[in-house]
Homo-oligomer: A and B are copies of this chain.
Amino acid sequence: VYKIGEFSRLGQVSARMLRHYDQLGLLKPSQTDRFTGYRYYTVDQLARLHRIIALKELGLPLEQIGDLLQSKAGLSAERLRGMLLMRQAELEHELRDRERQLTDVEARLRQIEQEGRPLPYEIVTKAVPAQVVASVRAVAPTVGEMSYYCYSLYAQLYEGLRQHGLAWLQPEITLYHNEEYVESDLDVETAVPVAPDPMGLQRSLAGAPFTARELPGSDLAAALIYEGPYAEMTPAILALLGYVAAHRYLPAGPLRELHLSGPAHDEQGRPDPAPVVELQLPLQPLQR
């Protein structure tokens, strides 16, 4: 018969753990002194302790281990199997998660080695909701004309909305329909969210200089928040595309540019002095 210190050395666990297991009912000492509270263990309890340690090593919570040890004669194969299957699924999920984290950490380390400093923006993945937008679309011949094209497309859009007596919401969303990053013939769409119309928005818009449609949501999108002038946004776009490529994601729709700090130009055509822009790229969920 052993005192707690001896038994803890035999079992290679701390005395605190033995007290803890006592408290949880996992491993009651074979005898406890009623006056001093001293716990006394016997050798044959080592087998039970070993079992607890072995199951704990698999990552099972103590409560489940307690359930298993309840049955006096050996473990119930059925219950154990159930717990192992759950733990297996959990482990597979955790493994994928850590692998992704490790990939990301390593990518960032490489990026710092190469550039000498971290990126001035962060890329995260998130879900984006579906919404109804009114929009106009056109092709700008060159990058240099983009700014003017966008400005006039938005002006045209707002003018049309006003004429049709339609209210709109924030933020403006510019969509880039080209499959890849290009510097000429940019297929661009400017959009603003509108309240979904139960009466049938489409019919009332016959002949309008814009269309209404649902901009689909996406459970998975890469997003980046950019602060600075629109003219200098190209590196951010490339960083986002690079991130997506590095993670072997595939785009699932046009790049979206959300003007979070308000319209890119006010009604007098003056540019937003301090733009905050969110770039979103919807992605296909990855199947392995």
- A residues with a Cβ closer than 8 A to B are 10, 12, 43-44, 46-47, 50-51, 53-55, 57-59, 74-75, 77, 80-81, 84-85, 87-88, 91-92, 94-95, 98-99, 101-102, 104-106, 108-109, 112, 116-118, 120-124, 126-127, 223-225, 227, 260-261, 274, 276, 278
Contact = CB atoms under 8 A, between A and B. Distances in A.
A168 B88 CA distance: 47
B80 A50 contact: no
B88 A95 contact: no
Given A74-B118, A77-B112, A260-B43, A58 B101 contact: yes
Copies of this subunit = 2
Nearest to A278: B46
Contacts of A260: 10, 43, 46
B53 A122 contact: yes
Contacts of A274: 44
A189 B120 CA distance: 68
A95 B105 contact: no
Contacts of A127: 12
Nearest to A116: B77
B95 A102 contact: yes
B227 A47 contact: yes
